[in-house]
Amino acid sequence: MTSFTKKCPMSASRFERRTGRVRRPNRGVRVRGRAKRPFDKDAKASESYRYAEDALGLDLNNLSLEPSLRHIVSHGRIEGDAEQIDEALEELASALCSNVEFGVAGEEIIENNRKRYGANAVEPAKVSSFVDFAREALKDVTLRVLIASGFVSLALESVVADEPYAWLNGAAILLAVSIIVVVECVNNSEKQRSFLSLNALMQETTLASVTRAGVRSLVPKGEIVCGDIVELQSGDVLPCDGVVVEAAAPFLCDQSHLTGESDEVEKRRGDVLFGGSKVTSGRASTMIIAVGTQSSSGKIAAMISDVDSQEFTPLQLQLQALAITIGRYGIAAATFVSVILASSLIAPLIASGMSDGIPPEIELELLHIVIIAITIVVVSVPEGLPLAVTLALAYSVSRMMKVEMLVRVLGSAETSGEITTLLLDKTGTLTRNEQTVARAWIAGVDIGPLTKTGSSWNSEIGKVTQDTPRLDPRVVKLLSILLAMNSTLIYDSEGKVLRGPKSEIALLDFVNLMNGDKTFVATIREYFPLVKIFPFSAERKRMCSLFTLRDAVDDEMGDVIVRAVTKGAAQDVLNLCATIMIEDGTSRPLDLVTREYLSRKFLEWQEHAERVLLVAYRDIERDLITIEDATEIARCMSATDAESDLTLVAAVGLSDPLREESAESVRLCKKAGVSVTMVTGDSLSTATALAKLCGILDDAGDESGSALTMTGEEFRERIRTSDGKVDQRKIDEIWPRLRVLARASPNDKFVLTAGIQQSRLSRQICGVCGDGENDAPALRRSSVGFALGSGTEMARSAADIVLLQDSIASVVDAIRYGRNVFESIEKFITFQLTANVTTILLSTGGALVYAQAPLSAIELLFVNLVIDSLASLALATEEPSNEVMRQPPANAGELITSTMRVAIFTQVIYQLTVMTYLLDEFGPDDTQIYGCFVLMQLANQFNCRKVTTELNVFEGILKNKLFLFLVASELLMHVLIVQRGGAVFHTTPMDLGEWARCGAFALCALPLRALVVAPFSKARSGSTTGTGS
C-alpha cells in the first residue's frame, strides 16, 4: 500500500495561496491554527489587560510570581483577546526561563527555578522526637502518681528504714516507670518512621507528564518546578498551580476542594488552574506558575499540617472504651485492697488510743499500701490495648508496603479485615490489562483470530494482513487515520507511549501492524490537527474526536474538511450508524438485516470474553474551507450533531487474558465469607463469560437461579420506586445474589455500594475496587476503596489503599492483613485480660485472707512491663496465618469471641488455683508466688498466639524471631530478678526443685488450652458460610 504521508506536507507557497498568510518557523505554542505576532518585550502589556475578580474569593495574588509579573496572572485568568493572551503567556514563560511549547531546558535552569521559586513540596508536619514521645507518655496520671510515690518512698526509706538497701524500693519503682516510658517511646518512634516512609513512597510513585526541552517524560510530582509544561487529561489531579497554555475543548475541572461547589468549571487558554483541581474531561497543557507552599493546594496542606490532632481508628476507640471499663474494676479492687490493708494497720492504733501518734514505721507501711494500690490500677488498666492496635497496624502497613500496597488511610488496613462484600472491576483487577486485538471486522471483511502468542513482529504482520487483500487500500488508510485520531495516548518525543488506556494502545498497535510500520500512528498524528474531543464516559460508552483533513490526504473529499470519528461500545455505536462501508471503500445503507447479523456476530465475540468496539465516522464539512472556519465549525458542534448519521467502518474484538491468580483469589474470598460481585462497563455477555472463567459465577448457581446477572439499566429499573427514588428494600432483594453488574454507570456503582452498606439484612462492610475517575464516588463511599496503581490520579486520591500490582491477589492480601490486625488484637486481649483479672483477684483475695498483697508494687510493675509493652509487641507482629481466611469476616463490635471467653476463664481459674495452692503451702512471702505467676504469663503468651480454631500454638513460631527474642528476654529478666534481685524485689533465689515446680505449673497451661479449645474448632470452622459461599 502506498504511504499517504508523502502527500501530506504542504509547501509554503501553497500554504500562502490557501490561507493568505506566511508560514513561519514554530517559535512557541501553536494556537489553534492562528499565526502569532512577534512578541514586543517593550510593550506595556499591563495597560492592555483587564483582570477578572477571583470568582473563588481566594487571595491568590502572590502565587510564586515576582511583583513585576503579578499583573499578568491574577485572580483566576489572563484576560484579553487571543493575541494578548499569546503575548502574556510568552512574557510569563520568559520570566520563568521557559517556553510555552518546549518547557524549561537544562538542569541548570531547573535547579535555579527550584531555588528561586521553591520545590513542589509542603513542609512536613513536625516530626516528634524521642523527648516529645516521652513527654506524651508522662502525661499519664497513674505514671505521674507512681513517680511521685517513688520519690516519696525513696526519701522515707532512706530516713526511716534500717536496711542498707531500703532506698532501692523507691529507685526500683522509678526505674520500672522509666522502662515503661522508654518502651512506649521506641514503639511510637517506629510507628512514626513507618508512616513517614509510606508518605515518601507515595510521593515517589505519583508521576506527571512533563515537557522539558521539548522532550516529554514522566516526572515525580515532587520534582516539578515553575516553568514546567505539564500535560493533563481526564482523571488527573493538578499537582500545583498553573496557567492553561493549550486546551482541547471542552476542558472541565472540579475545584470543589477550594470552593465547596461540585459544579465543573470549564477552563480555557489563559485560565489559572489551582493545585488539587481534578480534571473531569478533556486535555490541556499547563505551565506551572506556583509550587509547594506557594500554590493554593500547598497553602491548604500547610495549614492542615500545623494542626496538632491525633486520629484514632474505630478499633482503637472501642479498645479505649474497653480499657476504661476494665480500669474501673481495677480502681475498685485497688480501693478495696488499700482499705483492707490500711485497716489492719490503723485498727490496733485506734484501739490503743494513738497516744503517741502514728509511728514512722506505720507511715512507711501506709505509703507502701498506697503504692500497691496505685500499682494495681496501673497493672489492671490495659493501656497496652491501644498500643497493640498501633503496633498491629504499623506492622501490617509495613508488610503491605513490601507487597506493593500503599495504605493512604491508616484505618483502612484495619477495616479491610471486616470486608463482607467486594465489588470488583474487571479490567486490570481480574484480567492482566494486556489487551490485544483478537479479531476484527473491517468493511465487511473478517480478520482473525489474531490472539498474540509472543511471536515476532513480522509474523504478526502476516496474521493481520492475510485477509486484507480483499480490502481497498483506501479503507485501510481511512481506518488507520480514524483510530489514530480517536486516541488520548500521550507520547514522548520518540513516539513511545507514556500514558493512556491499554485498549487504545492495542488498537494503535493493530494499526501499525496493518501498515507494516511501527511508527505509522506517530506519523499520522503529526499531520492532522485535533480540534475537539468528546471524551469517553461511563454513561456515553464512547468517545468522539473532531479533526481536520487537508492537502488531499483523502483523495475523494477535497483539501480541507472536518471529520468526526466515534469509537465505543458495540450496540451504542451501531445505533448511531446510518450507513456501512463495504470492502471496496463505498458505502451503502445499514438495513435491519445487516444490523441483526452484526449484532449476532458481536454477541458471539462477547461470549468469548472479548470487548467489542466499533469505529464509525462522518464528514461534517466537505467544501473547501479555511482552517479557521473548519476549527470554528468543530468548536460549535455538540456531541449529538457530531455523532449523527455515522458510517460504520470496522469492529474490533479486544482480548484481555484472565490473571492466573484470579480464580484462586475469588475462591479464597468465597471461603472467607466474602461475597464477590463484578461491576463493569463492559457488555453483559463479556462480563458473564469472564465471571464464569474466574469463578464468580459457577454453572450450578447460575442454573439454579441463585445468582443474578444484569445490566445497569435493569438494575436502575428494579431498585427504584415509581417516583424514581431508590428503595433500600428492593436493593436488599438484589445485592445478596448479584454476581455481575454489566454496562454499569458510575452512579450505579455508587448506589450499589451505598445500598450494601445500608443493608437492613445484616451488617455489611463493602470494599470497592476501581481505576477511573468515574469510580471515585464509589471508592469514597465504600468502607475500603482499592485503586489500581495504573488508574487515574483521581481514583487513587479517592481510594484508601493503592494496589501497585493491579491484581485481585493484592485485595485478598489486604483482607488477610486486615484480619491479622483483628487477630493480633484478639491475641493481646486474651493475654491481657487473663493477667489483669488474675492480678486483681489475687491481690484482693490476698488482702482478705493474709492482710497483705501477695505481689509487691515493684513485682507488679515488672508484670505490667511484660503485659503492656513487650507482650503487645510480641503478639502484634505475627504473620497472618492461613486460618484467618477460613474464618468469617472480622467484626469490630465483637472483640471478645466465645472461644476467647472460654480461654480467658479457663486460664484465670487455673492460675488462681495454682496461686491458691502455693499461698496455702508456702505462704504469701515465698518467692515461688512471684516466680510461678510470671512464668504462667510467659506460657500464656504461647497460648495466645492462636485464638481461633488452631490447636498447635507452636506452628510457625520459628518464623517470628521477634516473638522468640522477646519471650527469651522476659524469661532472662525474670530469672535475674529472682536469683539476683532480692535487694529490690524482696525475692530469695529459688533452687532447681522450686524452678521445676513453677515451670511445671506454667507448662500445664499449654495442653489445658488445647483441651478446652478443641470443641470450638469444628464449630467455628463450620460457621464460615456467609454471603460469599
Q: pLDDT tens for residues 893-916?
A: 787 888 888 899 999 999 999 999
Closest CA to 3 of 437, 465, 377, 519: 519
What the block records as the C-alpha cell of 699 is: 454453572
Separation in Å, CA 260 to CA 254, 277, 739, 835: 10, 12, 36, 52
Selected residue with higher pLDDT from 729 and 217: 729
Residue type, 445: V
Tell which phi-psi region holds residue 433, choosing left (phi > 0), alpha (psi between -120 and 50) or beta.
left
> For position 454, what pLDDT does the model report?
46
Task: Check if the beta carbon of residue 433 is closer than 8 Å to that of residue 805.
Answer: no
- d(CA 631, CA 619) in angstroms, rounded, equals 14
> For position 863, what pLDDT does the model report?
77
> For position 434, what pLDDT does the model report?
83
- Angle subtended by helix axes 808-850 and 857-864, to nearest 10: 170
Task: Check if the beta carbon of residue 825 is closer than 8 Å to that of residue 392.
Answer: yes
Neighbour tally for 124: CB within 10 Å: 11
| Mean pLDDT across 822-841 | 88
Top-tier CATH class for 31-120+224-305:
mainly beta
Burial of 895 (0-12, 13-18, 19+ CB in 10 A): middle
**Based on C-alpha coordinates, what's the Rg of the chain?**
36
What the block records as the C-alpha cell of 845 is: 483475695
What the block records as the C-alpha cell of 206 is: 505519583
Angle formed at CA 861 by CA 858 and CA 867, multiple of 5 degrees: 150
Superfamily of domain 416-431+659-804: HAD superfamily/HAD-like (3.40.50.1000)
Neighbour tally for 21: CB within 10 Å: 13
Q: Is the pLDDT of residue 306 over 60?
A: no
Residue with cell 510568552: 90
- d(CA 702, CA 304) in angstroms, rounded, equals 51
At residue 762, what are phi and psi to the nearest 5 degrees? -165, 170
Selected residue with higher pLDDT from 745 and 250: 745
pLDDT tens column, 309-336: 445 667 767 777 777 787 788 788 888 8
Count how many residues are written for the chain. 1029
pLDDT tens column, 919-940: 999 988 899 999 999 999 999 9
- d(CA 780, CA 598) in angstroms, rounded, equals 40
> For position 386, what pLDDT does the model report?
67
| Mean pLDDT across 278-294 | 84
Residue spans per domain, the chain: 31-120+224-305, 131-193+313-397+820-1021, 416-431+659-804, 436-470+523-655
Which residue stretches of 278-424 are H helix?
A: 296-305, 314-351, 360-380, 384-402, 410-415
Task: Check if the beta carbon of residue 455 is closer than 8 Å to that of residue 659.
Answer: no
Tell me the pLDDT of the chain averaged across its residues: 78
Residues 6+ apart with CB under 8 A from 993: none
Which residue stretches of 403-446 are H helix?
A: 410-415
pLDDT band per the 50, 70, 90 thresholds, residue 553: very low
> For position 257, what pLDDT does the model report?
65
Closest CA to 513 of 564, 570, 566, 448: 448
> For position 61, what pLDDT does the model report?
41
Task: Check if the beta carbon of residue 500 is closer than 8 Å to that of residue 435.
Answer: no
pLDDT tens column, 430-456: 988 888 888 899 998 888 777 554 444
Selected residue with higher pLDDT from 8 and 392: 392
Neighbour tally for 494: CB within 10 Å: 9
**Quick check: bond before 250 cis, omega within 30?**
yes
Task: Check if the beta carbon of residue 667 is closer than 8 Å to that of residue 590.
Answer: no
Task: Check if the beta carbon of residue 232 is closer than 8 Å to that of residue 238.
Answer: yes
Closest CA to 868 of 130, 327, 414: 327
Residue with cell 479557521: 628
pLDDT tens column, 496-548: 777 778 888 889 888 888 887 777 787 777 778 788 888 887 778 899 998 88
Q: Is the pLDDT of residue 694 over 80?
A: yes
- Mean pLDDT check: name the lowest of 118-132, 403-417, 621-635, 885-899: 621-635
Task: Check if the beta carbon of residue 624 is closer than 8 Å to that of residue 555.
Answer: no
CATH topology of domain 436-470+523-655: Calcium-transporting ATPase, cytoplasmic domain N (3.40.1110)
Q: How many CA atoms lie within 13 A of 938 on its CB side?
A: 25
Q: Assign domain 131-193+313-397+820-1021 one CATH number from 3.30.360.10, 1.20.1110.10, 1.20.140.10, 3.90.1150.10.
A: 1.20.1110.10
| Mean pLDDT across 806-833 | 90
Residues 6+ apart with CB under 8 A from 385: 319, 320, 322, 323, 825, 828, 829, 832
| Mean pLDDT across 826-831 | 90
- d(CA 808, CA 798) in angstroms, rounded, equals 18
> For position 205, what pLDDT does the model report?
65
- The string of DSSP codes covering 605-632 is HHTTTPEEEEEEEEEEE-S---HHHHHH
Q: Is the pLDDT of residue 559 over 50?
A: yes
Task: Check if the beta carbon of residue 581 is closer than 8 Å to that of residue 587.
Answer: yes
Neighbour tally for 972: CB within 10 Å: 10
Residue type, 535: P
- d(CA 315, CA 84) in angstroms, rounded, equals 59
**Quick check: bond before 449 cis, omega within 30?**
yes
| Mean pLDDT across 642-657 | 92
User: In which element (H, E) is residue 833 found?
Assistant: helix 808-850
pLDDT band per the 50, 70, 90 thresholds, residue 688: very high
At residue 927, what are phi and psi to the nearest 5 degrees? -65, -25
pTM: 0.75
Q: Is the pLDDT of residue 145 over 70?
A: no
> For position 705, what pLDDT does the model report?
57
Separation in Å, CA 732 to CA 176, 705, 752, 758: 56, 17, 10, 9
pLDDT tens column, 352-404: 766 666 777 787 778 778 777 776 776 776 666 766 777 788 788 888 888 88
Strand partners, 801: 407, 786
